Amino acid sequence: MAPTVQHYKMITMDLIKELHFMDNDYKLDDDKTFENNNTLLRKDTTDDINSDANFDIVKYEAMEFKSRIKWPDLLAQTSLHLVTIYGAYLILTNTVKFLTIIFAFGTIYTSGFGITAGVHRLWSHRAYKARLPFRILLAILFTITGQKDIYTWALDHRVHHKYSETVADPHDVRRGFWFAHVGWLVLTPHPAVEDRRVALRKISTDLMDDPVVRLQRQFFIPLFILLNVMLPIVIPMYFWEETLLNSFVVSFVTRFTVTLNIAFCVNSFAHLCGNKPYDRFIKSVENSMVSLAALGEGWHNYHHVFPWDYRTSELGRLNLSTKFIDFFAKIGWAYDLKAATPSMILKKVNRSGDGSFHGMEEPDPTSSINCKATD
Ligand SMILES: [Zn+2]
Ligand SMILES: [Zn+2]
């Protein structure tokens, strides 16, 4: 029996009922016009076409542009990382209470679902729908991570997918590992990025239509101070008498910086180091190490091919965020889960994969070793 068939026999009927297979929504490259999967070239919807009407990517690509350093952002990132080195020293020298370490890392991995299942799969991609209590929970978890507000994050992520690997991509990996990892946050953006942020704002009205997104944006500063700074510092001090210094360094700064870096890895490593079983013409790759750290977000070749698939990977891949959404689907808080069918996946594999697809087996861990900045 072929591995694909074998694998899908393991799926329960319940799960199949939950998945809304969307053959009709899948945009195949049948006319062979577009080898690149980014939607700038695809013209998916009328809104997309209109939003690109006056946008000349060729002009922007040819433009001479030199980024300037955003000093306050550079100072913030440098400070966070230096204090995190001190946090690692405190942890390694046993200066911090064990419970504080457990709390910091436990918070990293629970709040991480606010990024993966929340701002990414729900708000950026609309890969499923969520009822109000679930959206509130996801917004709280996301705010704990401290990564901007939902609206700004989702908008930038939509720009990234629509204009991947062009000058309009906010973290264009063609500019190298460090630019994609953190450089883009401390440098002024390319004018093409600013142009597309404005354009996508006009067609992303769905985001601000959600009162949860609106309120989280409106009260972002106080929520950030409460959930990302104050509570992580106060909880270890109040419940197990951690010192203020240790709590500040480990539970606030180190936790915050580690979470940031895990998210950064999706933009850097998962666009550079790994294989491309679904589309060899794009830079995003399958990276099992990033997936392990980022709760399933490292299956990035798959994700850029099927960005609307709530699983961001095939079934069978280790993907804790998919299990998290599945759980909430079971209790009725998540619904309308979209997923690619095996036939869609295999068609794409045969058409544009790099030959590394092995049915739906677990990936080869050594695949992450192959790492290159340019093709
Ligand atoms: Zn990406
Ligand atoms: Zn995405």
For the chain, the domains span: 3-49+67-369
Mean pLDDT of the residues in the chain: 86
Question: Which of the four pLDDT bands, split at 50, 70 and 90, describes residue 318?
Answer: confident
State yes or no: pLDDT of 100 exceeds 80.
Answer: yes
Instruction: Look at residue 349 in the predicted model and tell me its pLDDT.
Output: 94
Instruction: Look at residue 53 in the predicted model and tell me its pLDDT.
Output: 75
Instruction: Please tell me the distance between residue 297's alpha carbon and the centre of ligand 2 in angstroms.
Output: 9
Q: What percent of the chain has pLDDT over 90?
A: 77
Instruction: Look at residue 367 in the predicted model and tell me its pLDDT.
Output: 45
Question: Which of the four pLDDT bands, split at 50, 70 and 90, describes residue 46?
Answer: low
Q: Helix axis angle, 132-145 relative to 98-113, nearest 10°?
A: 130
Which of 9-18, 36-45, 157-166 is least confident? 9-18
**Which ligand lies nearest to the CA atom of residue 180 in the structure?**
1
Q: Phi and psi of 22, rounded to 5°?
A: -120, 65
Q: Which of 283, 267, 296, 272 is nearest to 363 (CA)?
A: 296
CA 330 to chain centre: 24
Instruction: Please tell me the distance between residue 15's alpha carbon and the centre of ligand 2 in angstroms.
Output: 23
Intra-chain end-to-end CA distance of the chain, in Å: 36
Which of 20-24, 52-56, 327-331 is least confident? 20-24
User: Residues 6 or more apart from 351 whose CB is under 8 A from it?
Assistant: 28, 29
Sign for the pseudo-dihedral over CA of 227, 229, 232, 234: negative
**Which ligand lies nearest to the CA atom of residue 306 in the structure?**
2
Instruction: Please tell me the distance between residue 285's alpha carbon and the centre of ligand 1 in angstroms.
Output: 9
Question: Which of the four pLDDT bands, split at 50, 70 and 90, describes residue 55?
Answer: confident
Question: Which of the pair, 131 or 55, is modelled with greater confidence?
Answer: 131
Q: What percent of the chain has pLDDT over 70?
A: 82
> What value does the mean pLDDT take over residues 77-84?
98
Instruction: Look at residue 35 in the predicted model and tell me its pLDDT.
Output: 33
Instruction: Please tell me the distance between residue 261's alpha carbon and the centre of ligand 1 in angstroms.
Output: 15
State yes or no: pLDDT of 7 exceeds 60.
Answer: no
Instruction: Please tell me the distance between residue 56's alpha carbon and the centre of ligand 2 in angstroms.
Output: 24
Instruction: Please tell me the distance between residue 266's alpha carbon and the centre of ligand 1 in angstroms.
Output: 7
**Which ligand lies nearest to the CA atom of residue 284 in the structure?**
1
Instruction: Look at residue 317 in the predicted model and tell me its pLDDT.
Output: 83
Instruction: Please tell me the distance between residue 172's alpha carbon and the centre of ligand 2 in angstroms.
Output: 14
For the chain, give the number of residues.
Answer: 375
Distance CA(204)–CA(51), nearest Å, equals 11
Instruction: Please tell me the distance between residue 107's alpha carbon and the centre of ligand 1 in angstroms.
Output: 24
Q: Are 126 and 246 in contact (CB under 8 A)?
A: no
Instruction: Please tell me the distance between residue 290's alpha carbon and the centre of ligand 1 in angstroms.
Output: 12
Instruction: Please tell me the distance between residue 91's alpha carbon and the centre of ligand 2 in angstroms.
Output: 33
**Which ligand lies nearest to the CA atom of residue 313 in the structure?**
2
**Which ligand lies nearest to the CA atom of residue 268 in the structure?**
1
Instruction: Look at residue 361 in the predicted model and tell me its pLDDT.
Output: 45
In this prediction the pTM is: 0.84
